[in-house]
Amino acid sequence: MRKVIFEGIATALITPFRHDSFIDYNAYEKIIEQQLDAGINGLVVAGTTGESATLTDEEHAELVKFAVTTVARRVPVIAGAGSNDSEHARRLCRNAMRAGADALLLVTPYYNKCNTKGLVEHYRKCSNGAGDNLPIIAYNVPSRTGVNIKASDYEKLLEIENIVAVKEASGNLAQVGEIAAKYGDELSIYAGNDELAVPMLSLGSKGVISVVSHFIPSEMVGICRDYFDGKVERSKNVMLHYMELIKAMFVDVNPLPVKKAMSYMGYCMEKCRSPIGELSDEDAIKIKKLMEKYHIIKKIDIEKYK
């Protein structure tokens, strides 16, 4: 087994913005400390949920550096650093390394699709940018990128020593099973979909890179801990208990729902950068009612949050 970056739950952090669309570092620090207090096992900075596609290179490096400084080695800080331009991705990797990231999360190239040879070359360039020792989590999310990392691709990808894990967000459990069967002794697998946490743990996953852990962090940590401790039934039951809330985080484009949820809890504004858009009033009310149902917030006047 190559280096295991974390076991359990890593939260894919939102990037909070102010009214003027600049990054709200005060809110970011509050969110990070809330996560650490809850016992989270890792933090992902500037990933998809962190609206990485809208960050400038300077903002990206600054965000990673701020997280690294705030976390102060308490858990691994994993920096999203992917791009559909291999040279740009390589620069982002280098900048994240210089900012002190413990690992990288690299999404497959998007829009300009690549074949297996191109995919391997892309990750090789990113590895060169990351240096010899910074581990890489390949990120497979074909619903966003149009590129799927097939199980057979890992024969070549694992020639790159920095690649130690995959975040599997394809939703294809048969594919995950094939990867685990062939490469599970060498490659850590992380679930990229909260609703598949327990099924993927059953296939050998080391944990989950989670969205819903923003506001139920200790509960998500407990799901993994119980599973690892052999309390499989309890792990499953907790997962099923929160399923309605988990699904609600994808009633619209991520991170609109989770930012709305965090705004209800008073951590940040719900603002996302263009072109993501805004959450509908109907979906906002649905999220509010679910958060009340699960006792995450008390009954509140939704009008003041519009």
Decide if 296 is inside a domain: no
Decide if 255 is inside a domain: no
Identify whether the C-beta of residue 261 lies closer than 8 Å to the C-beta of residue 280: no
Task: Evaluate if residue 306 carries a pLDDT over 90.
Answer: no
Q: pLDDT-based confidence at 113, cuts 50/70/90?
A: confident
Decide if 258 is inside a domain: no
Q: What is the CATH number of the domain that holds 227?
A: 3.20.20.70
Task: Evaluate if residue 181 carries a pLDDT over 60.
Answer: yes
For residues 77 and 62, give the distance between their C-alpha atoms in angstroms, rounded to a whole number: 13
**What residue numbers bound the domain in which 226 lies?**
8-231
Decide if 283 is inside a domain: no
Active-site pick, 123, 139, 242, 264: 139
Active-site pick, 167, 206, 236, 260: 167
How far CA 224 is from CA of 174, 178, 288, in Å, comes to 21, 22, 26
Decide if 295 is inside a domain: no
User: Using H for helix, E for strand and C for coil, what is the string for 1-60?
Assistant: CCCCCCCEEEEECCCCECCCCCECHHHHHHHHHHHHHCCCCEEEECCCCCCHHHCCHHHH
pLDDT at 305: 44
Q: pLDDT-based confidence at 59, cuts 50/70/90?
A: very high
pLDDT, tens digit, for every residue of 233-242? 999 999 999 9
Decide if 118 is inside a domain: yes
pLDDT at 290: 97
pLDDT, tens digit, for every residue of 247-267? 999 999 999 999 999 999 999
Phi and psi at 172, nearest 5°, equal -100, 95
pLDDT at 112: 86
pLDDT, tens digit, for every residue of 196-214? 999 999 999 999 999 999 9
Decide if 304 is inside a domain: no
Task: Evaluate if residue 16 carries a pLDDT over 80.
Answer: yes
Decide if 124 is inside a domain: yes
Identify whether the C-beta of residue 149 lies closer than 8 Å to the C-beta of residue 166: yes
DSSP, residue by residue, the chain: ------SEEEEE----B-TTSSB-HHHHHHHHHHHHHTT-SEEEESSTTTTGGG--HHHHHHHHHHHHHHHTTSS-EEEE---SSHHHHHHHHHHHHHTT-SEEEEEPP-SS---HHHHHHHHHHHHHHH-SS--EEEEE-HHHHS----GGGHHHHTTSTTEEEEEE-S--HHHHHHHHHHHTTT-EEEES-GGGHHHHHHTT--EEEESGGGTSHHHHHHHHHHHHTT-HHHHHHHHHHTHHHHHHTTSSSTTHHHHHHHHHTTSS-----TTS----HHHHHHHHHHHHHTTSS----GGGG-
Query: How many folded domains does the chain comprise?
Result: 1
Torsion angle of alpha carbons 18, 216, 190, 93, nearest 10°?
Answer: 20
Question: What is the reported pTM?
Answer: 0.95
pLDDT at 1: 81
Task: Evaluate if residue 300 carries a pLDDT over 70.
Answer: no
Of 305, 253, 255, 298, the C-alpha closest to 284 is 305
Q: In angstroms, how far is CA 243 from the centroid of its own chain?
A: 18
Average confidence score pLDDT of the chain? 95
For residues 252 and 283, give the distance between their C-alpha atoms in angstroms, rounded to a whole number: 8
Q: In angstroms, how far is CA 79 from the centroid of its own chain?
A: 10
Catalytic, 139? Answer yes
Which is more confident, 133 or 79?
79
pLDDT, tens digit, for every residue of 84-95? 999 999 999 999
